[in-house]
Amino acid sequence: MKVYKFGGASVKDAAGVKNVAKVLASQGYENCLLVVSAIGKTTNALEVAVKHYFEKENYQQTLEDIKRSHIQIANGLFDDKNDIFGEISLFFDEMIFFLRQNKSPNYNFVYDQVVSCGEMISSKILSEYLISQGFENTWLDARDFIKTDHNYREGAVDWELTEKNIASLGKQKNYVTQGFIGSEENNFTVTLGREGSDYSAAIFAYCLDAEHMTIWKDVPGVMTGDPRKFQDVSLLSNISYEEAIEMAYYGASVIHPKTLQPLKQKNIPFFVKSFLEPEKPGTQVGISPKNEQTESYILKDGQALLRIATRDFSFIAEEHLSLIFSALAKFKIKISLMQNTAISLALCVEDKYGNILALNDELSKNFNTEIVKNVSLFTVRNADMKHLTKFYKDKDVLLEQISMRTLQMVING
């Protein structure tokens, strides 16, 4: 089977949904499993609705606005007698019913039950639209297949169960399903982390032993830098799984970092292509890599720099590190870069859940700490060591590290 993933940008409006059919026509449509994300920025909007719900603000109005934008897209795709309009309304009625009945104070649990609706609706719209255009498919609820633990908002996949479930799918058919979501043992929804639809596609590809997997993006493929942030970038036509995973890990957001590991395990060819120019080859990952030495640039913003020092001039030792790392795990704060001296440790961290001040309170019981918020991590892969100075120009560098051919710097702003 082939696995295709269509992200939010590819289905941001009615024209985008129509374009998916064009992409499929250009690729040959047989034995495909399509994974689709929420339409456009729906996930962000649903996050706001959850926040309003917990802050006892008017979350119904927020949901009403999201519903209206989906109806508007459906108006551009279906005649007004189509069942899809009833289905869209039902999703929103059920969401409001769930929120009214809900007694759980667990923000992450409620978040997952609500935010997952973005993918449920987009997948219904895409499936119905494709059927109306002659692209037969069966709509699947990904939560019946991808099983996870109870770690709401960042579910860990139960691979054994998931493989068993996905193996039950007939391989001579076409399917449309959701990215980003799975479910725990009681069938409550668990999301796989923001931007996790690429990862969902890789889970399906792995469990189906897919022939190949393609993620369709608004860029020509993986480039030497994010074209929104860097000028004069070019396409990397062939890279290895290793290069792709390193780039994704350092923050090249074109591929979700968890995507590569399942694909690499089974050597599944992986393509990143443009949904605007589907006939172009895009980037091939994992097949005869050519661009391994090409310099590429990654800017990961929204980071914080945490400096931790012992109070008594003692060395940063294993016991200290163990205390620090368990506090990071407790507050779900991830390290992007770390560097230590005899008596201090500097961590560039990503605080997805807004816990940095709580972490600081905990650490300051034992250490002297300092936080610099809103810093960026700038990474140069395969850096040309002879010309490094150009990267320092006009930058307020707070921390730097060179390992092998990778230059990294934490910069203010």
Closer residue to ligand ADP, CB minimum distance, 217 or 320: 217
Does 226 help bind Mg ion (rule: CB under 5 A)? no
CA end-to-end distance (rounded Å), the chain: 45
Q: Which of residues 194-233 bind ligand ADP (CB under 6 A)?
A: 195, 217-219, 222-223, 225-226, 228
Residue 201 token pair: 């596609």
Count of residues interacting with Mg ion (CB under 5 A): 2
Measured distance CA(33)–CA(201) in Å, rounded:
9
Q: Which residues contact 361 (CB under 8 A, 6 or more apart)?
A: none
Q: Is 115 in the site for ligand ADP (CB under 6 A)?
A: no
CB of 313 to ligand ADP, least distance (A): 42
Distance of CA 224 to the CA centre of its chain: 20
| CA 230 vs CA 135, 225, 272: distances in Å | 39, 6, 19
Q: Which residue is nearest to Mg ion (CB)?
A: 195
Return the structure tokens found at 296.
């590429």
Work out which of 112, 128, 184, 195 binds ligand ASP, going by CB under 6 A.
Answer: 195
Write the DSSP symbol of residue 155. P
Separation CA 107–CA 69 (nearest Å) = 25
Determine how β-strand 296-310 pairs with β-strand 344-350: antiparallel
Q: Which does 194 bind (CB under 5 to 8 A by kind): ligand ADP, Mg ion, ligand ASP, none?
A: ligand ASP
Q: Which two tokens stand for residue 82?
A: 């189509």
- Measured from the CB of residue 317, what is the shortest distance to ligand ASP in angstroms? 39
Q: What residues from 314 to 333 belong to the interface with ligand ASP (CB under 6 A)?
A: none
Binding mask 229-258 for ligand ADP (x = CB under 6 A): -----------------------xxx----
Cβ 69 to Mg ion shortest distance, Å: 17
- Select from 195, 243, 351, 362 the one that contacts Mg ion (CB under 5 A): 195
Contact call for residues 16 and 8 (beta carbons, < 8 A): no
Judged by the rule CB under 6 A, the positions of this chain that interact with ligand ASP are 7-8, 37-38, 43, 118, 179-180, 194-197
